[in-house]
Chains A and B, each alone.
Chain A
Amino acid sequence: MDSIILRTAARYLMPIFLLFSVIILLRGHNAPGGGFIGGLLAAGAFVFYAIAHGVAEASRKLLIAPYTLIAIGLLVAFGSSIRSFFNDQPFMSSEWSVLNMPWLGKLPIGTPLVFDAGVYLVVIGVTTTIVFSLAEE
C-alpha cells in the first residue's frame, strides 16, 4: 500500500500509539487497561507502521527481534516472582512499595506491575512475530 498520507500518518501516529499503550499498561491496575490490552495496542502500532512502511522498516523500529521480545517478556514476568522466592513467601506473592515522585505524588510500585510489563512484552512479541512472518511471505 503505497500512500503518502498513510506513510506520514503512520510516522506521527506510532509514537502516540506507543505512548498511549504504555499509559494503558501503567494505569491498568486501577482503571481499564493492563498488560494485555496495552500490548495489543503497541503491537497494533507496529503493525500499522508495517502496513505503511513495510515489514523491514517496522522491524527496525522495533529494535529487537519479535521472538527475542517474547523471551524477554517471559523472563520479566517470571522474574517478578523472584522476590517472593527469596522472602520465603508463596510463589508469586506480590510486593509493594510506594515511591515519592516529584510533581506526580505517590506512585505505588509493585511486582504485579513488573509482571504486567512482562505480559505486555510477550503480547507485543507474539503479535508482531505472527503478523511480520505472515506479511513477509
Chain B
Amino acid sequence: MGIITSILSVFVLALFAPVLYRIGRGATGWIAAMLPLGLAAYFSSLIPQVRSGEIMTESFRWIPSLGINLSFYLDGLSLLFALLISSIGALILIYAGRYLSGHPCLGRFYLYILMFMASMLGVVLADNLITLFVFWELTSLSSYFLIGFEHDRHESRAAALQALLVTGIGGLALLAGFILLGQAGDCLELSNLLNSGDAIRNHQLYVPILLLVLAGAFTKSAQVPFHFWLPSAMEAPTPVSAYLHSATMVKAGIYLLARLSPVLGGTDLWLYSLTTAGATTMVVGAYMAIQQSDLKLILAYSTVSVLGILTMLLGLGTELAIKAAMVFLVGHVLYKAALFLVAGAVDHETGMRDVNRLGGLWRVMPITAIAAGLAALSMSGFPPFFGFIGKELFYEAGLTAQSAAHLLTGVSMLTGMLLFAAAGMAGILPFIGRKNTLPKKPDEPTASLWLGPVLLAGSGLACGVAPGLVDTSLIAPAVSAIIGHPVPVKLALWHGLNPVLAIGAITVAGGLGLFAVRSKLIKVLSQLSNVVVLSPTHLYKQSLDGLMAIASLQTRIIQSGYQRYYLLIIFTVTTALVLYALISLGGLHGPVNLSNIQFYEAGLAALILMGALLSILTNSRLTAVAALGVVGYSVALIYIIHGAPDLANTQILIETLTVILFVLVVYHLPNFSKLSSVTVRIRDALISLFAGGTMTALVLKATNVQFHPTISSYFAENSVPLAHGRNIVNVILVDFRALDTLGEITVLAVAGIGVYALLKLKLKPKGV
C-alpha cells in the first residue's frame, strides 16, 4: 500500500494546495514541503530492502479484461528516481514559496507543481505500461501549466504549447509502442516484460516497438532534433525550470530508456540509434550553451547536452557505461538544480540574468556565491566533487566502448570542454569581477532562497569526498536494476595515473582556454549560426503555421455556417456511401417479400406519404407542422402494431412536444415566403428522393437479411435473472447498456444547456 499511498498523497495535497495557500500564505511552501520530505524519508527507509535485491510490487484492478492494472513496481532504479523527485521537490517548494511570494496565482502554482511531482512519481513507480503512460502524459500536461504559468505573456503560452505538442506527439508514439510491446511480450506489466527481453528482441515487432518508444523518450528528453522545446521552456518560473531540468520531466525519457534497456537494449539498432542521437545532442547542446548570455539559457542548453551524454551511455549499455550514467545523473541533478536555483536567486535580487552584465555579486551575496561556485566546480568536473567522479566514469566508458571508441572519446572531450566553459559562465562569472549597474540593488536573499542551492551544492561535494555515501546504497541497486543482475559499485575519487585522468586534465585545460576566449568565440559562432536556416525551431513554426492554414481552409469549406449546406452534405454523402455498399455487396438483387403486409399497414403507409407530401406543398407553417404530426403519430401506430409500446410512447410524446415547441417558435419566425429558386427546389427534391429511396431499399433488404446471430435472445433470456426486469427495452437502457445511456443523457444535458445559453445570450450589435 505504501507506494500508491505516496503517489496519491501528493495528488491530494495538490488538490488542496490552493486552499492551503489561503490559510498558510507565506509559510505554504514550507508546509507543503513536509510531504515530499516525508516521502523522501519513506523511500530512504526502503533502501536496505532494495539493496538486498528485494522488489516491491503493488497492484490494483483497473481494466482487468484488457490487462490494464494500476500496478506499481519499486526496484533500485525506481527508488533512485523517486528519492530524487521527492527530495529535490521539497527544496523546490520551499524555494518557490519565497521566489514567487506575492504572485496572484501562487496557490495555483502549488497545485500545478504538486500535480507534476505526483505524476513524475507515478512514472518512475509504475509497473503497468498503460499506468506509466497515463502518468507520463500527466507530466506533459502539468508541465504545460507550469511552463505557461505566466499565462498573460504570449511567449509563455507559445513555449507551453510547444512543449506540450512536442512531448505530446512523442507520447502518442510511445502509447503505440507500449501497445505493440504488450503484444510482443503478451503482457503489459514491466515486472514480467523485464524477464522476457530475448523473446521481444527476436519478435518481428521489435523494430517498430523500439522506434516508437524512442520517439517518446527522445521528445521527452529533448534529444536532437527535438531539443528546441526545452530552452523555450525557460519561460517557466525559475523554480519550475530547476525542477524540470534536474530531477524530473526531461529525466523521464532517460528513466524510460534505462527501464526498458533490459527489454529492448543490447541490439545493434539500440546501440547505434542511442549513441548517435546522444552524441549529437551532447555536442549540439554544449555548443549552443556557450553561445548564450542568459543564465537560464546557458543552463538549459547544458542540460540538453547532459541528456545526450546519458542517452549515449545507456546506448553503449556496458556495465561501466550504465554505472557512469547513473553517477553522472545524480551528479547532474545536484549541481543543475543548485545552479538553476542560484540563477533564480540572482534574477530575484538583481532583476536580470545577463552574464555579460552581471559581476561582483559575491560581495553582496556570499552564501549564494559559495553555493554557485561549488555547483559550478562540480559541473566542470573538478575533484573532489561528485561531478568529477561522473566525468571520469563517462570518459572511461567512452574509451572502453567496443565501436568507434576514439570518435566517442574525442566528441566527449569536446563536450567536456564546452560544458566546462558553460559552467564557468553560469556559476562563476556573475559573482566575480567588477560590480555593474543593475536594475535592482542586490542583497543576500532569505534562507528560503539559498537553502536549496547550499544543500544541493554541499551534497555534490559530500558525495564527491565520500562516495561511499551513495555508491552501494543508491547507485549499485539502480545499476543492477538496469543490467538485470547484481552489480557491485565502488566509487573512488582517485584511480591513479591513467589515461582517463590525462583526458580529464586536457579537458580542463581546453575548457579554461575556451572560457578565456569565449567572447571572441561567441562572435564567430553567431555569424556561423546565421548561415543555418533550417533549424528545428524554424521547422516547428512552419509546420504549425501550415497546420493552422489547413485547419482554417477546411473549416471554410466544411463548416460554412449554413444549416442547409450541412444537411445537403450529410444526406448526399451518407446515402451515396450506403448505396455504394448496397450495390457492391449485391444488396439490390433478389425479390422483396411483400406478401404479408396487412391492409392497415398499407393504410398507415398511405397516411404517412400524404402527410409528408402535404408538409412540403402547403403554404402555411401550421399546416406543415400538423402534417408532420400525422407522419409521426402514424409511425407510432406502426410501432404499437409491431409490439414496441416503449418506442410508440416516446414517439407520441416527442411529437407532441415538437408541436408545442414549434408553436412557441412560430411567433418569432419571419413571414412565410419561398426563398429558394426553382432549380434549388428541384435539386432538393432529387436529393430527398435519392436519400429516401436508398434508405427504403436498405430497410427492405435489412429486414430480410441476418448477418450475425441475434443478440436479442441473450437479452430476453438474461433480462429477468440478471437484471430483475421483464421490460427488455428498459433493462438494456438502465442495466446492460447503462454506460451508453449515461453518455446519452450527458449529451442531452449539454444540448439543453447549449439551447439555454443560445437563447439567453444577448449579443451586442457590432459597433455599439
A interface list, Cβ under 8 A from B: 28-37, 40-41, 43-44, 47, 51, 66-67, 70-71, 73-74, 77-78, 81, 88, 91-92, 94, 96, 108, 110, 112-113, 115-116, 118-119, 122-123, 125-127, 129-131, 133-137
Contacts and interface: CB of A to CB of B under 8 A. Distances in A.
Contact of B748 (A44, A108, A123): A123
Contacts of B645: 32
Contact of A29 (B665, B724, B738, B756): B724
The 6 closest A-B pairs by CB, nearest first: A126-B752, A29-B725, A32-B645, A40-B653, A112-B734, A133-B759
B756 A112 contact: no
A50 to B, nearest CB: 9
Contact of B742 (A77, A125, A131, A137): A77
Contact of A28 (B653, B656, B723, B730): B730
26 contacts: A29-B734, A34-B734, A37-B649, A44-B653, A44-B657, A67-B753, A71-B749, A77-B742, A81-B742, A91-B739, A96-B724, A112-B723, A112-B734, A112-B738, A116-B730, A123-B748, A129-B756, A130-B752, A130-B755, A130-B756, A131-B660, A131-B664, A133-B755, A133-B756, A133-B759, A134-B664
Interface string B723-766: 11111011101110011011001101101110110011000000
A107 B741 CA distance: 24
B533 interface: no
A118 to B, nearest CB: 7
Interface string B632-665: 0000000000000110011001101100110011
Interface residues of B, number: 40
Chain A interface, >50% SS class: helix
A135 B727 contact: no
A29 B731 contact: yes
A135 B745 contact: no
Contact of A110 (B724, B726, B756): B724
A51 B659 CA distance: 13
A133 B762 CA distance: 13
Interface of B: 61, 645-646, 649-650, 653-654, 656-657, 660-661, 664-665, 668, 723-727, 729-731, 733-735, 738-739, 741-742, 745-746, 748-749, 751-753, 755-756, 759-760
A37 B650 CA distance: 6
A92 B738 contact: yes
A123 B745 CA distance: 8
Contacts of B755: 129-130, 133
A44 B730 contact: no
Contacts of A70: 749, 752-753
Contacts of A115: 734, 738, 741-742
Contacts of A119: 733-734, 741, 745
Max chain A Cβ within 10 angstroms of own Cβ: one of B723, B731, B735: B735
B749 A133 contact: no
Nearest to A32: B645
A30 B760 CA distance: 40
A125 B749 contact: yes
Contact of A137 (B734, B738, B759): B759
A48 to B, nearest CB: 8
Contacts of B723: 29, 94, 112
A120 B661 CA distance: 20
A32 B727 contact: yes
B745 A33 contact: no
Contacts of B727: 28-34
